[in-house]
Amino acid sequence: MTDMFPLLLLLPLLGCLFVLFAKKNDNNSFHVVLFTLLSNLAIIVRLLTQIHRDNNDLQSFHFSYPWLESKGIELAMEANLFSLLVLLGIYVAFIIAVVGLLPQQRKNKSQMLLGLYFIWNITGLLCSNDMVSFYIFFAGMLIPLFLLIGLYGNIKKNSTLYLFFAFNYAGILCLLTAMLFVYKYHQGNVELQDIALIKMPVGSAMVVWTSVCMAFISRIPIWPFHYWISSINSGLRSSLVCVMTNMLPLTGLYGFLRFWQITIPKGILPFVPVVEIFGIMTMLFIALIGLSHKDFLQKLFSYNTVYYLLFLLTTIMLPEGYIINIAYSLITFLIINASLTVLDLWAENSCEENNCDYRGILAYMPRLAIIFAFFVLVAVGLPLSAMFWNNFVLISAFFRVSFTHGLLMMTAIAIISMALLYELFIMRDTSNKNPILEIEDISDKKVTFFVAVIIFLFMSFFNPLWFAF
Amino acid sequence: MIAYTALLLFFIGIFSSIKVGVKVDKALSFLTFTSLFLVFAGFCDGMNSLSNHTWSFVWDTNPGSSLKFDIISNHYNYWLIFPCFVLTMLSALNSLFFRYEERRSSYFSILIFNLVTLIVLITSNNFVQLLSALFVIDILSVFMIKNVDAYRRYVLLNMLADIVLFVVLAIINCRVDSLDIRQIVLYRNIGMHQDFVALTGLTAVFAKFGFFLFQIGVMDLKKIRFHRMLNILFLSSPLAAIILLLKFNALWRTSSYFTAYLDFVCILTLVWGFLGSLGSDNFKSKVIYWQMSFEALFVELLRFHGFVWFSGFTFLYLEMFVICLGLYLLYYLNRRRVSMLQIKSIPLINKKEIAYTLLIIVAAIAALSNTLTILYNNMNRYYIWAFAVLFILSLSAVINQLLLRRDFKIISKVNEMPVKYMMFGELTLLCAFLLQDWRYAEPSVWIGSVVFVLLCAYNPMAETEFVYGIDTLQNNDILGRIYHILIKSLRLCGRFFWLLIDRLFMEKFVLALFISAIEQSLRFFRRLHNSKLGGGFVAIVLLIALLGYSYYQAGVE
Amino acid sequence: MLESIIYLSPLIVLLSSIFILMFSEHNEEEHYRCFRFSKFMMLTAFALTVIFYNKPLIEEVTLGNKYTLLFECMMYGGGLALLYLSRKWFASMGVSGYTFCGGIFVALLFGSLLIRSNNLLLSVVCCVFMMMGNYALLKGSSVKKEIKSEKIYMFAMVFCILLLGVSLFILYHYNDSFAYEQIKETLSINTGDVWLFTAVAAVLTVFMFMLGLAPVHFWFTETLGGTVLPVFAYFVMVPIGACWGGFIRFNTEAVGSFAENFYLFYKAIALISISLGALGACSVQNVRKILAYGTVYHWGIVLLVMQSFSINAVNTGVIYILVYLLAMYGICVCLFGLKIKGEYLFMLNEFEGAAYKRPYISAMMTIFIFSLLGIPPFLGFFGVFSALSYLAKHDSFYQFGYIMLMLIVLSYAYVQIIKNLYFEKSKENFDRADSGIYTAVFIIALLMIIIMLKPQYLMQDVYRMIESLFL
């Protein structure tokens, strides 16, 4: 079964090749992407089952590629329970995003190609176990994302697009700095968990860990780095690109999780309280901004930010034991995020097609309304998915560490939850008496698909690994 | 066992939620009710058993702790579930006989699922199960209300309360390191911020009740159908709040301010309820206000009895429900007109039915007085007296206004004026009275009933009718406005932050500085390059200077 | 004797090609003949060079080894690619390609000699002839006459020849010989001599001029922005190998320990090149100028890395040069593939929406640009990785940080190209690119993929070749 693990990385690349040579203006590329995603999802589930079943014997899958032996660089890949769980969430989210594409968007070959390339990178990132491969995949994500945002982001200001690139590029260079410093002191590639063990001078350690932090923080919309991501988010109208953008902070978060697996490095210990304070202040600030915005996608962005920061602070502040809770919570979070994005874009598209007001749109689309409401309620934290119980554990642990921090974080979560709920009511509100009465609701196929997603989430409320037999 | 009851109810609920045609719906709803009744019979049978059973399954295992889903069957829980069951039955019965609902079976399913959730809530032993049940009750209330206007504020407030409770329980869990509700007693010794935790939790419970300052949610219920409104008032969040009060009484007591805070809010609620019931033109609002006052009394009574539920509370709750049903009948007989001002005349043809309804109300008030007499337990007469006086005064004043200050005219009879309904009313009362313990009934109970009748005939409070015409008073939603201002200020705050930090600081300062720095250096660069001769000269000078410096430095070293 | 003539055969082939091209009839309609002939002759010369790579071309004054082979391969590779690509240009423009082909042969001839030379006089002669060849090419190819690029170049060239003359004079005065070995010996004895310092500095300045390093980069950026595409491609593909090869060899074999006097100079030149390259690229709208400034930036990094001219430093620098050259080949191919109504593109706005009309070429161009920025998984990553890891290893932290900062600045210019390719709406109809362009792009991409999968070809085998210089 271990043999299946390399397939996880190979399939998206093969998919890219197929998409590259697929016909233009046809659904072929869409089908290739969907097939690739489903195949990889099946592999992930199979691997998870394997780990789940042999809980005591098998902890992870490995393979390595001797890349540059003279420089001591061997690319080591590893998939453990945590990375597989997050990958599961990512793949389900991507499947939702791909299914959510509008018919004309499905024929867009470049979008499919870049999307799949991004997926390959993020899969690689989550499976990489050494510094070099981690860096390669971490940096590789920028290209498809930048191109897709430029192509479909409706960004009017030239500087915004460049700043997005520059922020990310600076982040990449920071990680490169850290990598090269580690390489300097270790004389070769090093596994991620061993980085903290490398002996280096205090100044160098400071450079390494500060660079690592800066690299990951550049991906997480923590103040003042939140600006680039919020500035590019507003114009996105493709579900795939939206989901990709929303997933970028995940890479930063995952970086923290991998690098601080054991303990916070001494080099940056004094800065941790600063990150905590900034994180919490950003949570509050973004939650308030989310409340004040009128666009649902903006609210969703605020929601994402608040939750990503929650997970980040969990990583920083809580002991290692809670990592699996983060994983379970993340799966649901990613799926909710993708689902709400897709559903909102469908609703907006219906508004555009029927030339009607966004307010109250759900009142005319009852099927969409029910599905939408479910996901909003799950997002708010209702006991409908694994997120509820795992968030309870995480927040409870937070209070153990710091009462004030916990309280402020919960305030932010409460504000953003209320904002989402309020938006749901707005979308169901018919007081403005929309003149149109007949709006085509979502199709049976789409309903079936989302019912399956809902069942997946709801079952996770009882057992997050219910599918791993 | 309660678990079996819950399981059976769950399946009945699923069965009932099947979507069928109108004709089949009638049969299905009847079948559902019959099944419900049979389960109720089984439940009542189980009430006599004194043995304890716990049905549980492992819900989730986590590195932190494992989570169990428990349904505990014991005498206490049976008595707590009993009124919920009865009220669900009565609501279902109401709908069964009359066409209140287009789809009765699906309405039944909501009721049944609500009951199942209440059972889960009552029998829960851990925080997660309890919170889950609380949230589910809120979701079901959305289906029950079915009107966006009516449930917007209600749901928002309840969700907020749930989140606050979530926080409170998370704090407790972090200190006690256990999800078991019974371990809360330990919190008194090892807890932190006890006052904060207890009072915040209590505030959340008040919000779920819809007490003073939190009534905006329940007040919106006047926009929905009467019977659905009653279901929400008696079977949804307020009932969940009562259960929370009982379950977490050990927590509330950790704060020394608890009693004062509870008294303060309850008294304000009572007074507000009285004023509202007198001043509101909307009949449904009046009912909501009376219920609000009643809940304030109920909470105080629970406190007097150490937060221990017993049969007296069950009766009290049922009796209040019967009074509300009587009021519903009055509303129905008045052709479902909600505005007191708009009711210019009463249908003459319904005179008998009205008299009969009054009789039901008077009987229910007598029963209520009797139960109160049993419950006051020499602990705080004044509070009960205050409630009794205010309640009787306002209720009789409204009845006085309706029956004696309006003309009886020949208006077409309300079509479905049901003899069946009266039978149902009689039946309900009969049940209630038969279960009553009249041994402790004092003369004051009977005097109270008589006084109520007399006050119905003449009540100086009825003169306050003029306030119905004061639009500013009727349409005034001060609390709503306060909340609106609160939310608006939060939104403004968000907007301000966005403008200040994103626009002003980031965009106009940091980025502008960065861009201008680059632009300046580019301008300098262009100037240097545009002048070919000058540029070349500078380059040569620079080159020579660099060479010279390099040579000098090497020599120095 | 016969042996010497055989060893000299690559030069003979190149020289005869020049004469044949010079004296043959310049028939504009049969341009393909001259390109076919040039390709054949160049391949022959290349094959002979590879076969006799370790044999002396001219006894006493030249020495061939794996190191020289590496740089010669760079030159010949660039030359062949250039011939392959530019044939279409001359055909579509109806311009004779004889001068152009002749210019390439001149560069190859003197470039080869420069790389193999271990005699200063020969090196100087090669440099002069190379500069004159460049001038001839510029003179016949300047499109934007207002720039007057050939005049700028001519003035600079004359100045350089003067500098070289001075340098030769001083060194001959001290040595009575122009052999690198002799010069090295003299320099090692007179480490503090100001005249010797001036002489060496003069030679180094000429090399820097030829490479286009700042602050003597004016001709490079200005002329490249205004010349026709084949000449632009020539400047970024062909003389680079010879100049770097000769420069490195001069530094290691002639300057030796005297180079200590120039450490600061190199560092300063490198940092200025990095700054001006990055800023210059951002300040212009002409894509070729952007790429030229980019080149200045990259050469700045190479010089910064190589300042000590140790084996590791040279190895790192050469890896960077190779990676850069491969990406530049790719970009030039893409530039040859993008034209509107027969006109090749100059300005940024002319590239608008190219991705919608020519998606594959635009995609490859984007990949090559990202490669220049060192973003993995493209080949440029190895260049950045080698250079920065070398700096980190030698505790050059400030330079390390500065390169990164300027890389971010430079990225703005490159992003502008991508932005115009992808994010703007297409206004013009781009001409159909011929299959040769796609073949060339495919070959370069394949080469990149192979090196990415097996980087030891670049990182290990290059080291072995460089090693021969220090044996």
Question: Which of B 187-246 lie inside 8 A of A, CB atoms?
Answer: 192-193
Chain C CA closest to residue B555: C192
Are residues C388 and A142, on separate chains, in Cβ contact within 8 Å?
no
User: For chain A, how big is the Rg over CA atoms in Å?
Assistant: 22
Assign A105 a pLDDT band (cuts: 50, 70, 90): confident
Considering B434-443, C25-34, C285-294, the range whose residues carry the highest mean pLDDT is C285-294
Rounded average pLDDT over B472-499: 84
> In the prediction, which pLDDT does B499 show?
84
Assign B433 a pLDDT band (cuts: 50, 70, 90): low
Signed CA dihedral, B196, B197, B199, B204: sign only: positive
Quickly count: other Cβ atoms within 10 Å of residue A407's Cβ.
17
Q: What's the pLDDT tens digit per position in B346-380? A: 766 667 777 777 888 888 888 888 888 777 765 66
Are residues C218 and B547, on separate chains, in Cβ contact within 8 Å?
no
Query: Does residue C198 sit at the A interface (CB-CB below 8 Å)?
Result: no
Rounded average pLDDT over A426-452: 80
B174 Ramachandran zone, left/alpha/beta (phi>0; psi -120 to 50): alpha
Assign C298 a pLDDT band (cuts: 50, 70, 90): very high
Which DSSP state fits C433? P
Domain positions in chain B are 1-123, 293-466, 485-556
Any chains having at least 3 CB pairs less than 8 A from chain C are: A, B
Q: Is the pLDDT of residue C28 over 60?
A: no
Q: Which residue did the predictor score with more confidence, A9 or B433?
A: A9
Question: Which of B 499-528 lie inside 8 A of C, CB atoms?
Answer: 518, 521-522, 525-526
Q: Is the pLDDT of residue B382 over 80?
A: no
Q: Which amino acid is at A283?
A: M
Signed CA dihedral, A54, A59, A61, A62: sign only: negative
Are residues A166 and C411, on separate chains, in Cβ contact within 8 Å?
yes
> In the prediction, which pLDDT does A104 show?
86
Are residues A395 and B167, on separate chains, in Cβ contact within 8 Å?
yes
Rounded Cα distance between B250 and B188, Å, is 8
Least confident of B363-372, C146-155, C170-179, C389-398: C146-155
Question: Which of C 70-129 lie inside 8 A of B, CB atoms?
Answer: none
Q: Is the pLDDT of residue C312 over 70?
A: yes
Chain B CA closest to residue C217: B539
Q: What's the pLDDT tens digit per position in C202-216? A: 999 999 988 888 888
Q: What's the pLDDT tens digit per position in C362-398? A: 999 999 999 999 998 898 999 999 999 999 988 888 9
Rounded Cα distance between C142 and B208, Å, is 83
> In the prediction, which pLDDT does A434 show?
57
Q: Which amino acid is at A265?
A: P
Q: Which residue did the predictor score with more confidence, B516 or C226?
A: B516
**From the centroid of its chain, how far is CA B200?**
17
Considering only CB atoms, which chain B residues are within 8 Å of C192? 555
Partners of A74 in the beta sheet?
A66
Helices assigned H by DSSP within C190-286 = 194-211, 218-226, 229-237, 239-249, 263-283
Rounded Cα distance between B14 and B17, Å, is 5
Are residues B498 and A292, on separate chains, in Cβ contact within 8 Å?
yes
Query: Does residue C195 sit at the B interface (CB-CB below 8 Å)?
Result: no
Are residues B525 and C201, on separate chains, in Cβ contact within 8 Å?
no
Question: Which of A 406-435 lie inside 8 A of B, CB atoms?
Answer: 406-407, 410, 413-415, 417-418, 421-422, 425, 428-431
Closest CA to C392 of A319, A185, A421, B531: A185
Closest CA to B421 of B410, B429, B411: B429
Q: Is the pLDDT of residue B267 over 80?
A: yes
Question: Which of B 459-518 lie inside 8 A of A, CB atoms?
Answer: 487, 490-495, 497-498, 501-502, 505-507, 510-511, 515
> In the prediction, which pLDDT does C171 show?
86
Rounded average pLDDT over C158-184: 87
Q: Of B490, B499, B513, B519, which to mutate for an interface test with A (greatest number of A Cβ within 10 Å)?
A: B490
H/E stretch holding A393: helix A386-401
> In the prediction, which pLDDT does C25 show?
64
H/E stretch holding A79: strand A73-80
Phi first, then psi: what are they for A188, rounded to 5°? 155, 180
3-state class (DSSP) for residue C203: helix
Are residues A136 and C411, on separate chains, in Cβ contact within 8 Å?
no
Interface contacts (A, C; CB < 8 Å): 77
Considering A189-193, B237-241, B490-494, C23-27, the range whose residues carry the highest mean pLDDT is B237-241
* HEC readout, A89-140: HHHHHHHHHHHCCCHHHHCCHHHHHHHHHHHHHHHHHHHECEHHHHHHHHHH
Considering only CB atoms, which chain A residues are within 8 Å of C388? 176-177, 180
- Residue B380 burial (10 A CB sphere; 0-12, 13-18, 19+): middle
Chain B CA closest to residue A378: B135
Rounded Cα distance between B275 and B391, Å, is 10
Helices (H) and strands (E) in chain A, counts: 18, 2
Query: Does residue C264 sit at the B interface (CB-CB below 8 Å)?
Result: yes
Q: Are B394 and B278 in contact (CB under 8 A)?
A: yes
Query: Does residue A228 sit at the C interface (CB-CB below 8 Å)?
Result: no
Instruction: Tell me the helix, strand and coil percentages in chain A, rounded to 5.
Output: 75, 5, 20
Query: Does residue C449 sit at the A interface (CB-CB below 8 Å)?
Result: no
> In the prediction, which pLDDT does A384 show?
85
Inter-residue long-range contacts of B373-381, CB under 8 Å, 24+ positions, other chains counted: B373/B440, B373/B441, B373/B442, B373/B444, B373/B445, B374/B312, B374/B437, B374/B440, B375/B301, B375/B304, B375/B305, B375/B312, B375/B313, B375/B316, B376/B301, B376/B304, B377/B304, B377/B305, B379/B304, B380/B300, B380/B304
Question: Which of B 134-193 lie inside 8 A of A, CB atoms?
Answer: 135-136, 139, 148-149, 152, 155-156, 159-160, 163-164, 166-167, 169-171, 173-175, 192-193
Closest CA to C71 of C126, C136, C1: C126
- Nearest residue, CB atoms, C216 vs list B525, B543, B550: B543
Q: What's the pLDDT tens digit per position in A316-358? A: 888 777 888 889 999 999 999 999 999 999 988 888 888 777 7
Rounded average pLDDT over C158-162: 90
Cα distance from A291 to chain B (closest Cα, Å)? 6
Decide if the complex's ipTM is over 0.85: yes
Rounded average pLDDT over C57-62: 75
A24 Ramachandran zone, left/alpha/beta (phi>0; psi -120 to 50): beta
Take residue C233 and report the two structure tokens written for it. Answer: 């491609």
Considering only CB atoms, which chain A residues are within 8 Å of C455? 67-68
Assign B306 a pLDDT band (cuts: 50, 70, 90): confident
H/E stretch holding B56: strand B53-61
- Nearest residue, CB atoms, B174 vs list A227, A400, A410: A400
Q: Is the pLDDT of residue B67 over 80?
A: no
Q: Is the pLDDT of residue B111 over 90?
A: yes
Q: Of C219, C220, C265, which to mutate for an interface test with B (greatest number of B Cβ within 10 Å)?
A: C265
Q: Which amino acid is at A174?
A: C
Q: Which residue did the predictor score with more confidence, B50 or C206?
A: C206
Q: Are A181 and A208 in contact (CB under 8 A)?
A: yes
> In the prediction, which pLDDT does A226 show?
75
Take residue B451 and report the two structure tokens written for it. Answer: 């006084």
> In the prediction, which pLDDT does C3 show?
78
- Nearest residue, CB atoms, C263 vs list B522, B540, B550: B550
Signed CA dihedral, A111, A113, A115, A117: sign only: negative
Cα distance from A431 to chain B (closest Cα, Å)? 9
Rounded Cα distance between B492 and B497, Å, is 8
**From the centroid of its chain, how far is CA B269?**
15
Q: Are C181 and C61 in contact (CB under 8 A)?
A: no
Average pLDDT, chain B: 82
Question: Which of A 188-217 lie inside 8 A of C, CB atoms?
Answer: 207
Q: Are C363 and C357 in contact (CB under 8 A)?
A: no
Q: Is the pLDDT of residue B64 over 60?
A: no
H/E stretch holding A74: strand A73-80
Considering only CB atoms, which chain C residues are within 8 Å of A169? 373, 375, 407-408, 411
User: For chain C, how big is the Rg over CA atoms in Å?
Assistant: 21
Cα distance from B504 to chain C (closest Cα, Å)? 24
**From the centroid of its chain, how far is CA C165?**
24
Instruction: Tell me the helix, strand and coil percentages in chain C, rounded to 5.
Output: 80, 5, 15
Q: Of C162, C283, C289, C308, which to mutate for an interface test with B (greatest number of B Cβ within 10 Å)?
A: C283
- Nearest residue, CB atoms, A151 vs list C389, C408, C423: C423
Q: Are C282 and A166 in contact (CB under 8 A)?
A: no
Q: Are B414 and B347 in contact (CB under 8 A)?
A: yes
Cα distance from C401 to chain A (closest Cα, Å)? 9
Rounded Cα distance between B181 and C30, Å, is 96
Query: Rounded to 10 degrees, what is the CA torsion of A57, A59, A61, A65?
Result: -110
Are residues A392 and B170, on separate chains, in Cβ contact within 8 Å?
yes
Q: Are A99 and A345 in contact (CB under 8 A)?
A: no
Any chains having at least 3 CB pairs less than 8 A from chain B are: A, C
Rounded Cα distance between B165 and B265, Å, is 18
Inter-residue long-range contacts of A445-449, CB under 8 Å, 24+ positions, other chains counted: A446/A99, A446/A346, A447/A367, A447/A371, A449/A99
Average pLDDT, chain A: 86
Cα distance from A295 to chain B (closest Cα, Å)? 13
Average pLDDT, chain C: 86
Q: Of C357, C373, C420, C425, which to mutate for an interface test with A (greatest number of A Cβ within 10 Å)?
A: C373
Which DSSP state fits B470? -
> In the prediction, which pLDDT does B444 show?
67
Are residues A166 and C392, on separate chains, in Cβ contact within 8 Å?
no
Q: What's the pLDDT tens digit per position in A189-238? A: 888 878 877 888 888 888 888 888 889 888 888 877 777 777 777 778 88
Assign C141 a pLDDT band (cuts: 50, 70, 90): low
Q: What percent of chain A has pLDDT over 70?
A: 95
Q: Is the pLDDT of residue B205 over 70?
A: yes
Q: Is the pLDDT of residue B421 over 80?
A: no
User: For chain B, how big is the Rg over CA atoms in Å?
Assistant: 32
Q: Which amino acid is at A269?
A: L
Q: Is the pLDDT of residue B251 over 70?
A: yes
Rounded average pLDDT over B528-542: 74
> In the prediction, which pLDDT does A237 show?
81
Cα distance from C318 to chain A (closest Cα, Å)? 17
Q: Which amino acid is at A169?
A: Y
Query: Does residue B538 sit at the C interface (CB-CB below 8 Å)?
Result: yes
Q: Are B498 and A292 in contact (CB under 8 A)?
A: yes
